[in-house]
Amino acid sequence: MGTNQVHDYEPGVAANGLFWTIPVPDGAIDVNGGKGRARFAMRDFAISDFHEFTNSILPGGASEPAVVSFDVRWHDIQSRYNAKEPEFGLAGEFVVTKATIEWSSQQAGFSFQSDPASTSVSEYAILGHERNGVFFD
């Protein structure tokens, strides 16, 4: 693992083994894939800072409470494509877009505020609806 990591904001590993996944409040996500637009935004969301990846996957790994806020927006369709890969059991419709993000964090002794979303440089962003596993047909 990298030795320069200072913060690792994530929910950790649940008792059932599920990781990097948490329920989010109603209204935090808004998607209109057909128009190539989506938004995922949360404000003052309580989460743990494990400081490094290893702490986040170890049972009882060291962490401290933190609060994060972010606003990610996908917009401006660049291209569309459909995929069907029966050998891998997946299919989907995808829209390549641009995206912007604004992000901040706060915790004891540390805070961070990104530049405004308007300064974001989008190299590649994609929205999609994928079907796989039991949902693949």
pLDDT value at residue 108: 96
More confident site: 7 or 5 = 7
Q: What is the pLDDT averaged over residues 24-37?
A: 93
Question: How many other CB atoms are there within 10 angstroms of residue 74's CB atom?
Answer: 23
Q: What does pTM read for this prediction?
A: 0.84
pLDDT value of position 17: 86
Q: Where are the domains of the chain?
A: 9-135
DSSP code for 55: H
| Mean model confidence pLDDT for the chain | 91
Gap between the Cα atoms of 76 and 74, Å rounded: 7
pLDDT at 136: 72
Does residue 2 surpass a pLDDT of 60? no
Tokens of 90: 């997946």
Q: Which residues pair with 33 in a beta bridge?
A: none
DSSP state of 137: -
Band (14; pLDDT cuts 50, 70, 90):
confident
Q: Tens digit of pLDDT for each residue in 45-91?
A: 999 999 998 888 888 889 999 999 999 999 999 999 999 998 888 89
| Residue 137: pLDDT over 70 | no
d(Cα 56, Cα 47) in Å, to the nearest integer?
12
Rounded Cα distance, 42 and 24, in Å: 8
